[in-house]
Structure 1
């Protein structure tokens, strides 16, 4: 056991004395040391209940012969950080969380980890740490929020963002905004649609790093408490059998997860986080590979924000395991990969069936023939860009229009709210990439405002930043190379024609090579001031969105 480095022999008497000061007995100290990483804070609604689950995990670990040693991580609520300086810190927090878990585990010679998480960047950060440390580990989420109810319909966080746009356009009044505000987030848990948090919790299950049910059991159900206890039991089994994350996080496992993502129509942020987790596991996962999987994987679930179903509906239909069982039928995933149950994917799926085919469609009757996400390339995105094609209106799959250019999200939002954007426009928001922002901000406010104003069917939005999983419409993000490193998006001028062809995977700036050469000669790099030493350090080391925005070693 790794913990023997910190507890055995004469030289470790001082170490044992410090543990005894914490109340641990000799026979407890002799047990395997299991780190319980608790991402609780009282700000994120997806995390406010994690202490309850942590108790279940610790009791289970203790009951199965381990010594649970709990420690925290930070976490940012993307919804609260949205559309102001706070969002610059969201993606960078992923690397900080990953590092903090590694620091604690290595400094204290922990034998295994249970990683309790729930939202956006915290989930992939935990998985990255598990892959980097490569000690027995299991991820357990806090589970999704239930959808709210308003005027007989299920609603979620995206509805209140869109209500802002509706109010701006005069389509609803203040009382309706308040009613939606009060109804859309009714319980603790990660926001109820297939946004980034829930997508990533589903990805943990699809990768095999979390137990079946991790992605979809609602936060408020007792089944979530039982799953937490099972996580404590299974981590002790992983330790006993010597099963480590890199035995689970193989190339085949990542391809499985990508196929599940495409079938679910998940958040575009998986195109950052899956490659980042793969990088930590020593696996190369490219945008081209992910796009190829999308091309052959049918879109089976119409989840909010692109569709009407919520995570509770997916849970009732059989959850992620039912989606995987359906994909396994046609060989669209590999059933031979190992999971934290100690069994293979195929063994986990024995007897699993879809219980509601209105939520999980048959393979021969999908919502779309291709998966939920597409990678576009062209002169405007030589290294790639990403769009959630399952949430794009049919009339916007091919679009050409004049560029409306903004340096930063605030300027674009101001123009949208002032109703200066017209049908047919292509809104370009630049200097929001990993280095340019820095931090690659999510832009739910402009996309949701356009949707609320009814412009999502006639206006496209392109950025070197990224979008919330709650965004819908022709929202093309992750444009690489980004403006701050001299990508072509930096040279776009007001009125230029931009051509979008999602089926053909094409994003093109219709400006002559001669004119672009003239503009490049006059271009000067622009890096917005951060006033933050943390963001300055992040900017210095971060790679492009096409590489998962990981640190350059």
Structure 2
């Protein structure tokens, strides 16, 4: 019995039947699985511009497989478009807006399953969160990465554009030259082409078992993507008949697999928050921060895709992708975990016969013997913080410097442009977390990109209770917990304090006595911040701490 088949003669049945008959549903359609096609389409961003065509193909595939598709559109946040207003504060809160949008439309209509078209950073985690919450058959379809173009004799992509702004203030690049780069930085639809948050979460969706095996990463609008679209469209109908739901897939062991993959690929630091959020929506009793800490001790960097190294995301795709990474981790991962394919991880991996070890190294011959991501603790981060250690030079894994404190990423950028940031500084950007923003300030990542463009990212460290982009490079620590707005120690760091970052021993401390730190915390008074009425004000009141994935209160 499909839950979408309402009781004949009831009010809900009668009015729904009337509407759907007008839409062209046949008598047979009423007995078929009703499937939501979650389409985060938008003409605001190149990340989403191809999704309408994909949605049409998915709907056609569902009909051929015996289902009835209904397209549902949600908000479509892009880190490089919807970051302009309020210092990018809308970006993280948009993730949870998508989750609730899906709940309203899919649960309100009692649809039987959903296929989610995931693109930019916040959509893949939001789609998995919604699947975990509603617990109806769900498939994630990563919709691919974009490609750059030639600027003169040099290849340029969006990553290069992102980091080149800082070269202007240093005099190494003119605005006209940067304009030329923007003209060719993106030549196809899709997400940013490095190991940023979008590609990381596409890969981790596969590692969790929420995509068909072999799909991530994938080039947007490629023949391979359209093959997966057809297969996913058929598979979601089968899953409904099999009653294969996300909570049968999203087990603690599945998250352990995903964390192993995140560490091996040197994925985005934002994967910590997003995996925590998906686990919370699945109502799992697991602390993802602690899972990272436990597994990191036996992990190493197997993939060297930008910003970690010189390789490109298409190199990883051709070398074996997420499946290739899991194949190299075969002796460590949980192979008995069920996936949306209806087969286990181990059964899926049997299909992959060869991995290009020039790109995806083995555990015996890694790019680095340490993992790509590390969890740090210390008197500045008693509940943890995260760093992409693989984006920092191997000889810069220990850094001690003097604090320069800002409550705004924009202010930090101004200081950099004015020459107020010097080698040996530790730039502190606080009041930038989910509550303090409210919503994480994306200008923190803009500052880091400018720092890189200015050639200072190996001489200046950056720490924040907000987030940085998965594309950022340098000596970086983000998501310091508790955040400053919750009275975390970062709130009482003073200009000139000595701060020590030890990525090898996984420590982050302000070098003052315990007594001095305690006195400062006792004297601390929360910053009064006027937040205009609207979504951000609502978000500030209900968002939970970072170690709970910054989900909304239940």
**In the superposition, relative to structure 1, how do residues 355 and 519 fare at CA in structure 2: closer, same or farther (>3 Å)?**
closer
CA-atom RMSD in angstroms: 1.6
Map Cα deviations across residues 257-276 of structure 1 (whole Å, 9 max, x no partner): 11111111110000000010
Give the corresponding residue for 2:129. Answer: 128
Give the corresponding residue for 2:210. Answer: 209
Q: CA deviation at 1:147?
A: 4.0
Give the corresponding residue for 1:309. Answer: 311
**In the superposition, relative to structure 1, how do residues 382 and 104 fare at CA in structure 2: closer, same or farther (>3 Å)?**
same
Are residues 1:405 and 2:409 paired? no
Give the corresponding residue for 2:8. Answer: 8
Partner secondary structure for residue 310 of structure 2: coil
Contact 2:132 2:247 in 1 (8 A): yes
Q: CA deviation at 1:3?
A: 3.8
Give the corresponding residue for 2:184. Answer: 183
Map Cα deviations across residues 211-250 of structure 1 (whole Å, 9 max, x no partner): 1233212003121112111111010111121111111111
**In the superposition, relative to structure 1, how do residues 438 and 76 fare at CA in structure 2: closer, same or farther (>3 Å)?**
same
TM-score with structure 2 setting the length: 0.96
Distance 1:545 1:156 in 2: 31
Map Cα deviations across residues 190-214 of structure 1 (whole Å, 9 max, x no partner): 1101100111011111111011233
Contact 1:2 1:109 in 2 (8 A): no
Partner secondary structure for residue 164 of structure 2: helix
TM-score with structure 1 setting the length: 0.96
Give the corresponding residue for 2:225. Answer: 224
Give the corresponding residue for 1:18. Answer: 19
Partner secondary structure for residue 302 of structure 1: coil
Distance 1:84 1:54 in 2: 29
Give the corresponding residue for 2:250. Answer: 249
Q: CA deviation at 1:151?
A: 5.9
Partner secondary structure for residue 410 of structure 1: helix
Distance 2:533 2:10 in 1: 46
**In the superposition, relative to structure 1, how do residues 180 and 294 fare at CA in structure 2: closer, same or farther (>3 Å)?**
farther
Distance 2:82 2:403 in 1: 28
Q: CA deviation at 1:182?
A: 2.1
* Map 1:499-518 → 2, pairs under 5 A: 499-518=500-519
Partner secondary structure for residue 498 of structure 1: strand
**Structure 2 residue runs without a partner (length 5+):** none
Contact 1:62 1:68 in 2 (8 A): yes
Distance 1:546 1:151 in 2: 46
**In the superposition, relative to structure 1, how do residues 528 and 395 fare at CA in structure 2: closer, same or farther (>3 Å)?**
farther
Map Cα deviations across residues 141-162 of structure 1 (whole Å, 9 max, x no partner): 2111124444655543221122
**Structure 1 residue runs without a partner (length 5+):** none
* Map 1:73-222 → 2, pairs under 5 A: 73-82=74-83, 84-85=85-86, 87-150=88-151, 154-222=155-223
**In the superposition, relative to structure 1, how do residues 154 and 287 fare at CA in structure 2: closer, same or farther (>3 Å)?**
farther
Map Cα deviations across residues 296-351 of structure 1 (whole Å, 9 max, x no partner): 122111111121222211111111111111110xx221111111111111111114
Distance 2:551 2:90 in 1: 14
Name the stretch that deviates more: 476-485 or 26-35: 26-35
Distance 1:281 1:192 in 2: 30
Distance 2:518 2:337 in 1: 49
Q: CA deviation at 1:10?
A: 5.5
Give the corresponding residue for 1:300. Answer: 302
Partner secondary structure for residue 357 of structure 1: coil
**In the superposition, relative to structure 1, how do residues 496 and 354 fare at CA in structure 2: closer, same or farther (>3 Å)?**
farther
Distance 2:419 2:2 in 1: 61
Distance 2:314 2:119 in 1: 16
